[in-house]
Structure 1
Amino acid sequence: MPLAQIPLRIWRQRGQTFMFRGHAIRYWVAGQGEPLLLIHGFPTASWDWHYLWQPLAQRYRVIACDMLGFGDSAKPMDHAYSLLEQADLQQALLAHLNVKQAVHVLAHDYGDSVAQELIARHGEARIQIASCVFLNGGLFPETHRPVLAQKLLLSPLGWLLGRAFSRHSLVKSFHQIFGPRTGPTESELDDFWSLVQTHRGPRIMHKLIAYIPERRVQRDRWVQAMQRGEVPLRVIDGAVDPISGEHMVARYEALIPNPDTVLLPDIGHYPHTEAPALVLEHYLAFREAIAAPRRQMACS
């Protein structure tokens, strides 16, 4: 049964605002129970999770924000954007909401890197992460295959490309990375573009793209944190994603002990919008699997 969409107009009405280092950040909270932090990707925003939002909120306390520079949050021009700062932002949001218990994480793309930083901080006793599930993302710089627009944004002319970035540019990029039969509708493309262009977002895209070289700097620290096995992990991955599809999962399986991976055939870079029911099924199965040992211990 298809999952219900939350129209962007309604989603925006449900958002709240808090201040992070002088910048207004939009965030969303729903449900009760164990906290589940949803971390979105580049170049979109937390509305990416709208198909999963209601089903997850029936089971957990779901929390998400548009990160600094994304969606409806502030997009300062004179700012050095950093994945480490975005991890600080996630922790600040949890503190704002008075979340003190261990947090489960579900992340995508750029958000995967933020989640990797949180897992590393878990090992440093700076936050408690109960589990993490990664959707398509560049977990390993050596397997990340950026599309042409990303390469150009990283070039010396990136600032010029960013200013020229349009709905047409977004559509062209998305057609490259979605599955062959699961691309976004024209209405969805309008909404994705609305989130990108709000607060003159294209002006800073060349600054946001600095996450790609930053991943290389942090690579060993993040991979070692995953290899320690302190946090239960699963990868749910759209197999035909040219950026971080089946080839990334193969690298994950080679590097991570006892890897837990799920490949979704014919699905691209945005599995949570392309095949949300499948993502939900595999996510809930993961949560059930990691909860079962705790129940057995409680009963013994």
Structure 2
Amino acid sequence: MPLAEIPLSAWRKRSQSFVFRGQPIRYWTAGQGEPLLLIHGFPTASWDWHYLWQPLAQRFRVIACDMLGFGDSAKPLNHTYSLLEQADLQQALLAHLQIEQPVHLLAHDYGDSVAQELLARHYEEKIEVASCVFLNGGLFPETHRPLLAQKLLLSPLGWMIGRAFTRDALVKSFRQIFGPDTRPSESEMDDFWSLVECNRGPRIMHKLITYIPERRVQRDRWVSAMQRGEVPLRVIDGEVDPISGAHMVERYRELIPDADTVLLPGIGHYPQIEAPVQVLKHYLEFRDHFVLPPRKVACS
């Protein structure tokens, strides 16, 4: 049975706002139980999770924000965007919501890198991460295969490419990275474009794309954190994704001890949009396979 869609117009009405370092950030929360932080990808926003939102909220307290520079959040022009700052933002959101217990992570694409940073901070005792599931993303710089549009955004002409970025360019990119039978409809493309275009988003795309070289800088720290094995991890990956598909999962299995991976045949870069029923099934199966140890309680 297909999962119910949340129209973008309804999604936007459910948002709340808080201020992070002087910038307004839109966020969403629903449900009760263990906190589950959903971290979206580039160049879209938290609406990416709308098929999974209500089913997950039946079991967990789901939390998501449009990160700085994305979706309906602020997109300051004169700003140096950083994955590390986006991890700061996620922690600030948890603090704003007064969440102190260990948090579960479900991340995609750009959000995978933010989740990797949070995982590294877990081992530095700066946050408690209970589990982490990665959807398609560049977990290893050596396996990441950027699109031509991404390469152009990284070039010295990136600022011009970004300002000239249109809905048609987004459609062309998405046609390359979605599965052949699971491409978004024209209506969905309108909604994706609305989120990219909001607050004059194309003018900062060349600034956001710097996450690609930043991944290379942090690579060893992040991979070491994944190799520790103390936090349960799973990868749920669209197999035919040309950016981070089966080839990325193969590398994950080489580097991560006792690698827990799921490949989705015929699915591309956005499994939570293309195959939400399968993603939900494999996520809940993952969560049902482990039980958190009791929290340490200080005694005096």
TM-score tier (shorter)? over 0.9
Letter in 2 for 1:232: P
1:81 aligns with 2:81: yes
- Give the structure 2 partner of residue 160 of structure 1: 160
Aligned position for 2:193: 193
Structure-2 separation of matches of 1:45 and 1:164 = 20
Matched, 1:100 2:100: yes
What corresponds to 1:68 in structure 2?
Answer: 68
Q: Does the residue aligned with 2:131 lie in a helix, a strand or coil?
A: strand
Once the 2 structures are TM-superposed, how far is the Cα of residue 294 of structure 1 from its aligned partner?
A: 5.4
- Alignment pair present for 1:176 and 2:176: yes
SS in 2 for 1:48: helix
Report Cα offsets for 1:60-116 as digits up to 9, x if no partner. Answer: 000000000000000000000000000000000000000000000000000000000
Q: Which AA in structure 2 matches 1:3?
A: L
Q: Shift of residue 286 of structure 1?
A: 0.1
- Residue type at the aligned position of 2:5: Q
Matched, 1:33 2:33: yes
- SS, match of residue 193 in structure 1: helix
Q: Which residues of 2 match residues 1-300 of structure 1 at below 5 A?
A: 1-291=1-291
Letter in 2 for 1:242: P
Question: Structure 1 residue 152: deviation in Å?
Answer: 0.3
- Measured against aligned partners, the alpha-carbon deviations of 1:7-45 in whole angstroms (never above 9, x if no partner) come to 000000000000000000000000000000000000000
Question: What is the distance in 2 between the residues matched to 1:5 and 1:149?
Answer: 29
Identical-pair percentage: 79
Aligned residue pair count: 294
Amino acid at match of 2:39: I
- Kept in 2, the 8 Å contact 1:120–1:221? The answer is yes
What is the one-letter code of the residue matched to 2:59?
A: R
Deviation at 1:290, TM superposition (A): 1.4
- Normalised to the residue count of structure 1, the TM-score between the two structures is 0.97
Match of 2:298 in 1: none
Secondary structure of the corresponding residue to residue 85 of structure 1: helix
What are structure 1's unaligned runs of at least 5 residues? 296-300
Q: For the Cα contact (< 8 Å) 1:123–1:230, is it kept in 2?
A: no
Q: Which runs of 4+ in 1 moved over 4 A?
A: none
Letter in 2 for 1:187: S
Please tell me the residue identity of whatever aligns with 1:188. Answer: E
Say if 1:130 and 1:231, in contact at 8 Å, map to a contact too: yes
What is the rounded CA distance, in whole Å, between the counterparts of 2:163 and 2:203 in structure 1? 5
Inter-partner Cα distance in structure 2 for 1:108 and 1:37: 11
3-state DSSP of counterpart to 1:250: helix
- Is the CA contact 1:162–1:203 (under 8 Å) kept in the aligned structure 2? yes
Match of 1:298? Answer: none
Q: Secondary structure, in 3 states, of the residue corresponding to 1:290?
A: coil
